[in-house]
Structure 1
């Protein structure tokens, strides 16, 4: 099996593992925290996809990842195909479009990209749910009780997991050694 195929399989396994850890965190650890009016949505899969998008140069691959993993996320959590299937590819293509503005990826830069992607994802989900009448909460409640706690939780998790996830995504995207 060629090394490129192995790396692509590794990328898919990496994102699926992040998806699994999303669910594990949501249902075991955060289940006790979401008893009050606050709702925290872990987004490790989005974090893994943003880190891979920052390193992959092929927009077609990014778009395929966004559609496939959006379908998987929708079918598992929502049962309504469309929310993540539409938003995830759009956000990943947006990240891919703007990643060339900076020369070197740093922690602060990748955190800001992830923060913006997470904000766009959660806001887009809220707007689509309002459009399809799946929620009745107003925008102020959404910001206070969903978006704020979600951003805070995911930024803390980003700082904790950045080094291992960034190194793993670097390794999964590079196909050969660079010359010194």
Structure 2
């Protein structure tokens, strides 16, 4: 039974965080989305950023593409945005793990870069595609969208880091050898 749990723990956690992204957003929409700011929880990005420091690249790329596809199908109208951006996030983190230690501070700083990259990529796409005609200039994006989203996700990262890290530590030895 323990062997099965170790194999399924990471995919289960990814599915859970994928679903919690939407649940959290919907349950707290009046608090997260106001006229002054627009915060988006990115729990799946937090988890992908952390896992990229501890799991093999091949396994993480599969998770990133798969959950990018799920994210696009379930949460957005455009197929391909998250499929492209999630693997980029994993790739950057995977390259940085060779240069930096996997401390909470380093992963937190990488998370800031990852979420900034994701939100900026989404902003640029929605801004340039005429179908969506996003009427938000860069200064509004930075103050209304990116800044609040970063703050929310940093708080979520601080709360979730140690429980997730403990789970990763329990499962990575087995997962890394068998994938």
- Other-structure match for 1:85: 83
Of 59, 62, 69, the residue aligned with 2:60 is 62
| TM-score normalised by the chain length of structure 2 | 0.89
Alpha-carbon displacement from aligned partner over 1:7-34 (angstroms, at most 9, x marks no partner): 3422111011111111111000233331
CA contact (8 A) 2:45 2:115 kept: yes
Displacement of 1:95 after TM fit?
A: 0.9
Of 93, 104, 107, the residue aligned with 1:107 is 104
| TM-score normalised by the chain length of structure 1 | 0.88
Runs ≥4 residues deviating over 6 A: none
- Other-structure match for 1:48: 47
3-state SS of paired residue (1:42): coil
Displacement of 1:2 after TM fit?
A: 9.6
Equivalenced residues, count: 173
Alpha-carbon displacement from aligned partner over 1:65-95 (angstroms, at most 9, x marks no partner): 1110001111111121011111111111111
3-state SS of paired residue (1:166): helix
Would the alpha carbon gap of residues 174 and 30 (structure 1) be closer, same or farther in structure 2, given more than 3 Å must change?
farther
CA contact (8 A) 2:81 2:122 kept: yes
Q: CA separation in 2, counterparts of 1:127 and 1:44? A: 22
- Other-structure match for 1:7: 6
Displacement of 1:40 after TM fit?
A: 0.4
- Other-structure match for 2:30: 31
Displacement of 1:37 after TM fit?
A: 3.5
Displacement of 1:139 after TM fit?
A: 1.2
Two-structure CA RMSD over aligned residues (Å): 1.9
CA contact (8 A) 2:25 2:32 kept: no
Q: Where in structure 2 are there 5+ consecutive unaligned residues?
A: none
CA contact (8 A) 1:52 1:173 kept: no
3-state SS of paired residue (1:175): helix
3-state SS of paired residue (1:92): helix
